[in-house]
Structure 1
């Protein structure tokens, strides 16, 4: 047993020596002491020699990993991350990644060492070391495996747990971007399959337990209301309807002190939407949201600009070059009563709250009877199917408040652009929710096999290639069948006037009205599509004919309407000969009529010629 331990220790020392030799060559080859550029390990190897040299034939994965960890931990203990010699760690990780690509060590070894590295560094050091993950991302995640994905999730989640989103939002964003780039879009690791809400996000505020003396501004509002009431009473005495005076009065809103608890209590509903399934809570939510929106419309707007004081909307520049909301990103607002009045006037704060309200209203609209009857909702998992159904009255309120919020968000500087951005994000989020309700079905298409691609490509080339004209087939020497005078089989059907005379636009208009009736009775989408295509064809032909004689009547056709709106034309008997549609022979050229044989003569000549050919 001791002899085996001595042999293993000697082998590990050999691997340690080999890795140390590669690191020495790396310092000579790579002059930079930073993370980038990545180390080109192939430049460190002798011609025809593997990365482990003569040890590669007798390699043991565990022994290589033990040797690598020995060098890794000794380097961490010897140098600080700000020391130039700390580049040895980055070089070692590049060498180990080169070995893992060739199955000389486990594929997740590099990620495990990086996880150990982050655990021993401060946040400042982690911010610098995370650059290694970003610059080697494609190499580290290829090929993907379950073991690798778990280590990446642990590293990023641990970093996010240590970081403060308010104090270091940039680094948090880098971590999230790395996650999004490392995992497929349809991966379930980032999906809340159970539809749980963030109920731990509790908003605390000062409780209103006693009477508070109103501010002077609030007293003025109360006095104004009393004056309005007195004016209404005087108007009634003078015989003026009170409703007219009340209409002139400005609608009152809650004062700051009364609105404070109502406003911040909305956050409890935003973090736990199922609380709205209770009737009393839903009424409180409706009243609070309406009071909040009314107060936002009343207070003067203030815009925060980077590196400057607060500006009102009247002082804000209009050229659109300012970056007014760059410093207004606050994931958690202060709830002090002293700051409440200032927060209400902040336009960025108002938009933050109203976007939360839009998300909540969209959630409520997914619980209407119509939405719950959709197939994707019926097939959703039980955790996302709620027994609560929004009634018609509450549905109308939700649609109305959503429209009011949308209109308000479009006001102010860059309001149109801001609302379009919000609406786009919410629309995509609806599709994301539907995808989760469908149990996250994979939407990635499999790669087309090479054989199928080659076959389809060659088939397309043959289809569009030059083709030889087919040889004319042999025809029957007898044309006796043309002499058949039967009405259904001979030439008689071709002698009707509608076969060689242009129809009138009114005929097409009649056909269009018939098609409209058929559309109302159509049962399938395919039948409707065919009828619409026929209607479009008839309309175009009729308008083309009408343009030859009724062009002046086109002004009476409404935009989007067709031939059926064309006024009918009544012709006298004398004018029929002048206004009739030209025949095929007249339309061919402008030679006078007497220079051409009549229609009856043409028919006789054609019949004689046919009989002569058949006799031959």
Structure 2
């Protein structure tokens, strides 16, 4: 039976099957890459699918049904690691080619990839996503809203399945794919309503939270009682104790112990995930006490890097880049038994303190001064809060931020780490401001050719009119015919006007400029005198090179170069001869004029080269 005698679905399935058979011969490789060259599957005169069904809607529906039948048939029988699974990759390439030419639905290939991701384990999803990354440019070449929605949905579903702690690299690949698929100013990822991630709940043992305040008060009282007893027993030792030791002991007595700090510390996560809860005064005070106690405990604990400790056991030298690369752990364990070890982990401390910096920056945007900025007044209502941070709370926020900043910069690579954090937070502020301004588009439309040509001709016309104006204002040599011009011409013929000045005159000019500099009152006057002095120095040195070249070693840059040439010196300094040479008799003295003649000749040659 011919293809034309079949039903539309069967005819389309037969055509796709024949194309896949040709694809096996054309692409010998069983891997994802290189992509299948679909245009080579048919000859120039042979259409791909359009000749089977003339009606567009019927053809699109038939291609979708036929493709799904072939897709599910192979998916149920072939594992993704099998070399014959290349049949599905070839089918997806054919459907992508047909979608770009409006022979099938444009989002059909993405819908099948979404089904493929749902049917695979995490290891299988890596293969599927590798295919998606290799075909990204072809998929997003003809963008439409339907394709964008499918890309956004399948990526978000995949991220929900992945663990950020166990699969951080795979999560990063998904995020990068989304960033490359959508424009930077796309509103699908900007959280226009300003919602916080309140679903990120941190569970911990709260059995000490009820007695936290009593326990803390009892600890402080016991510490004070202990100090009082020690002062009564050891009066002489207490008198001799330095003030610095007393302050250290007092700070240690105010520090919470591990059991008391445990619920206080982990309660910070409630504020980190939902900052608006701090708008209540009671919650804000609790946050202040918790953050201060945490920072104090961090400073007291002896920090140890897990990677550095492991390298030390293996005998390898620790490297800063390895430490940063291996300490990524966005979800820490909240077990009470691990809490003491976590407090000593440098990466753990930095993770918590960076969260605190993010929250403090958010609070500082709610001060009275920040709310008076123009962009805040024009912000969307979802980003405007009725809460205003008071002056006392603002001072506390600035102070604790400075303390955290200083602590993060401690250590060998502390400044480098804080520089990265500060750069990210600075860019995040610009991102928040852009959101508050209703996300104005980044991109601008291209200038049309008529506008470009009009601007070019307008610029040429403006320059041409300016040149004509200058030509009309010029008077040529007509001014030479006046009596005043004749007097100026006669003055130019005087002997003094073309006699070469002496180098001594420039040296005197420099001395006068130095005197004027002492009396100068304005910066413009000083600059003018400095330029005059530099010009006179250059001209004087150029003239002195003819007959005083040998004395140039006395001139120093910036220390009166020209003036030192005319200071009174001995005949030995001028000729460079010593006493032994002068004591040898007239034979040696007779060579001096010859040396001078040679020097004058070299000076004349040098001045001619300089003049040219």
Normalising to structure 1: TM-score of the pair?
Answer: 0.71
Deviation at 1:169, TM superposition (A): 2.0
Given the superposition, is the C-alpha separation of residues 294 and 75 from structure 1 closer, same or farther in structure 2, using an over 3 Å criterion?
same
Q: Per the alignment, do residues 11 and 260 of structure 1 end up closer, same or farther by CA in structure 2, a change over 3 Å counting?
A: closer
Distance (Å, rounded) in 2 between the aligned partners of 1:99 and 1:112: 15
**How many Å separate the matches in 2 of 1:239 and 1:417?**
43
1:302 corresponding residue in structure 2 = 304
- Rounded to whole Å, the distance in 2 between the matches of 1:179 and 1:168 is 17
Equivalent residue, structure 1, for 2:383? 384
Tell me if structure 2 keeps the 8 A contact 1:72–1:89. Answer: yes
1:257 corresponding residue in structure 2:
259
Checking the alignment, whether the CA contact within 8 Å between 1:301 and 1:345 is kept in structure 2 is: yes
Q: Distance in 1 between matches of 2:325 and 2:377?
A: 42
1:540 to 511, 515, 527: 527
Query: Matches of 1:24 and 1:409 in 2, distance apart?
Result: 62
Contact 1:300 1:345 in 2 (8 A): yes
The CA distance in 2 between the partners of 1:318 and 1:86, in whole Å, is: 45
Q: Give the structure 1 partner of residue 40 of structure 2.
A: 43
CA shift, 1:375, in A, is: 0.7
Equivalent in the alignment of 1:75: 74
Measured after TM superposition, the shift of residue 430 of structure 1 is 0.4
| Contact kept in structure 1, 2:303 and 2:344, CA below 8 Å | yes
In structure 1, C-alpha distance between the alignment counterparts of 2:27 and 2:164, rounded to whole Å: 37
Residues 1:395 and 1:446: Cα distance change in structure 2 (over 3 Å): same
Per-residue CA shift, 1:312-340, capped at 9, x if unaligned?
9xx99876466224333222212222111
Does the 8 Å CA contact 1:505/1:542 hold for their aligned counterparts? yes
In structure 1, the partner of 2:124 is 125
Q: Does residue 351 in structure 1 map to residue 353 in structure 2?
A: no
| Structure 1 contact 233–242 (Cα < 8 Å) conserved | no
Looking at structure 2, the residues matched to 149 and 303 of structure 1 have their Cα atoms a distance apart, in angstroms, of 43
**Alpha-carbon distance in structure 2 between the residues aligned to 1:248 and 1:115:** 61
Within the alignment, does 1:189 sit opposite 2:193 as a pair?
A: no
Cα deviation, residue 50, structure 1: 2.5
Gap change, CA 1:229 and 1:395, over 3 Å in 2: same
SS of 1:77's equivalent? helix
Q: Which moved more, 1:245-254 or 1:231-240?
A: 231-240
- Matched length: 496
Query: In the alignment, what sits opposite 2:559?
Result: none
CA distance in 2, matches of 1:294, 1:232: 26
How far apart are 1:97 and its partner, in Å?
A: 1.2
Structural mapping, 1:209-248, within 5 Å: 209=208, 228-233=227-232, 244=243, 246-247=246-247
Q: Hey, what's the Cα distance between the residues in 2 that align with 1:205 and 1:116?
A: 38
- 1:93-242 alignment to 2 at 5 Å? 93-209=92-208, 228-233=227-232
Q: Which residue of 1 aligns with 2:17?
A: 20
> What is the aligned partner in structure 1 of residue 442 from structure 2?
443
Residue 286 of structure 1 corresponds to 288
Distance in 1, Cα, partners of 2:131 & 2:152: 16
Partner deviation per Cα, 1:131-151 (whole Å, 9 max, x = no partner)? 111000011011111111111
Once the two structures are TM-superposed, the CA of residue 29 in structure 1 deviates from its matched residue by 0.9
Alpha-carbon offset, residue 230 of structure 1: 4.0
5+ residue gaps, structure 1: 1-5, 213-218, 484-500, 513-536, 550-616
Matching residue of 1:329: 328
Structure 2 residue 433 is the aligned partner of structure 1 residue 431? no
Where does 1:576-587 land on structure 2 (aligned, <5 Å)? none
**Aligned twin of 1:562:** none
2:421 counterpart of 1:422: yes
Deviations 1:413-462 (A, max 9, x none): 42111111111110010000000000111121222334545666788899
Aligned residues: CA RMSD: 4.1
Which piece of structure 1 moves more, 164-173 or 154-163?
A: 164-173
When residues 392 and 317 of structure 1 are mapped into structure 2, their CA distance, relative to the original with a 3 A threshold, is: farther
Please state if 1:275 is matched with 2:277: yes
Alpha-carbon distance in structure 1 between the residues aligned to 2:435 and 2:204: 35
CA distance in 2, matches of 1:410, 1:62: 62
Q: What residue number does 1:602 align with?
A: none
Please give the per-residue CA displacement for 1:39-64, whole angstroms capped at 9, x wherever unaligned: 01122111332223743766632223
Q: TM-score, normalised by structure 2?
A: 0.71
1:77 positional shift: 2.9
Provide closer, same or farther for how the CA distance between residues 264 and 458 of structure 1 changes in structure 2, counting only shifts above 3 A.
Answer: same
Q: Per residue, is there more helix in 1 or in 2?
A: 2
Alignment of 1:3-14 (within 5 A): 10-14=7-11
Secondary structure, counterpart of 1:326 in structure 2: helix
Structure 2, unaligned stretches of length 5 or more? 213-217, 487-511, 537-612
For residues 8 and 65 of structure 1, do their structure 2 counterparts lie closer, same or farther at Cα, with a shift above 3 Å needed?
farther
1:534-583 CA-partner distances (Å, limit 9, x unpaired) = xxx4552254468899xxxxxxxxxxxxxxxxxxxxxxxxxxxxxxxxxx
Q: Is the 8 A contact 1:504 1:542 kept in 2?
A: no
* CA distance 1:82–1:362, shift in 2 (3 Å): same
Shift of 1:120: 2.2
